[in-house]
């Protein structure tokens, strides 16, 4: 099981603890609502169970995949999020992504919200975005304040999704300095 799949399993386990309902009970709750569209299920979970957006998205997706495997989810059967993100010319970047994720999981619990071209990493709010970028490198966006940008920690224009970006071209660039920045963003999102 890859790091993303493991994080989703942890998220499902944690939402069962938070709601006091087993996964089977949550699925029954959704089924009894009569809702079949992802967005409607997500909104119902937020309003009726008080779930956070990330938990509601994950549960709705998991429910729909389990109850109707033929429904299109944006991925071919058996294909995981990383297979989609790191395909074609970007295949060689996947080990960098997996190493960054492995290091982040050591910091504590967080949610993963897969997007079309990256994954969003959240605690109470998003602390990072990670995915394949251009020019043969992985792009890591970080949300934190108070640091001066450098050649490596590139400050972004105000109003963007992240305050800083780091471009990672080699697995050896997943070093103490990078992990320190990720930890600052992780802690700030608590």
Residue-by-residue DSSP string for 99-152:
HHHHHHHTT---EEEE-SSSEEEESSSEEEEEEE-SSS-EEEEE---S----SS
pLDDT in tens, 68-105: 654 444 433 334 678 888 988 999 999 999 899 989 98
Residue 7: inside a domain: yes
pLDDT tens for each residue of 99-117: 999 899 889 888 888 888 8
- With CA atoms as reference, report the closest residue to 3 among 136, 132, 94: 94
Question: Are 59 and 15 contacting, i.e. CB atoms less than 8 angstroms apart?
Answer: yes
Asked if residue 164 and residue 96 are part of one domain, the reply reads yes
Q: Do the domain assignments include residue 76?
A: no
Same domain for 94 and 177, yes or no, is yes
Q: pTM of this prediction?
A: 0.63
């Amino acid at each position: 099981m890859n790091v993303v799949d493991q994080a989703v399993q942890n998220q499902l386990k944690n939402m069962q603890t938070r709601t006091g309902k087993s996964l089977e009970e949550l699925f029954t709750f959704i089924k009894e609502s009569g809702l079949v569209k992802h967005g409607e299920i997500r909104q119902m979970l937020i309003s009726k169970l008080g779930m956070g957006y990330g938990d509601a998205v994950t549960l709705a997706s998991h429910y729909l995949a389990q109850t109707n495997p033929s429904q299109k989810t944006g991925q071919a059967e058996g294909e995981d999020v990383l297979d989609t993100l790191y395909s074609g010319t970007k295949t060689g970047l996947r080990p960098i992504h997996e190493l960054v994720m492995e290091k982040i999981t050591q910091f504590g619990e967080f949610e993963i919200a897969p997007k079309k071209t990256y994954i969003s990493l959240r605690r109470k709010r998003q602390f990072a975005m990670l995915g394949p970028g251009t020019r043969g490198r992985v792009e890591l966006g970080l949300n934190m304040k108070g640091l001066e940008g450098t050649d490596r920690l590139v400050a972004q224009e105000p109003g963007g999704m992240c305050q800083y970006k780091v471009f990672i071209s080699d697995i050896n660039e997943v070093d103490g300095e990078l992990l320190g920045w990720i930890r600052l963003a992780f802690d700030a999102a608590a």
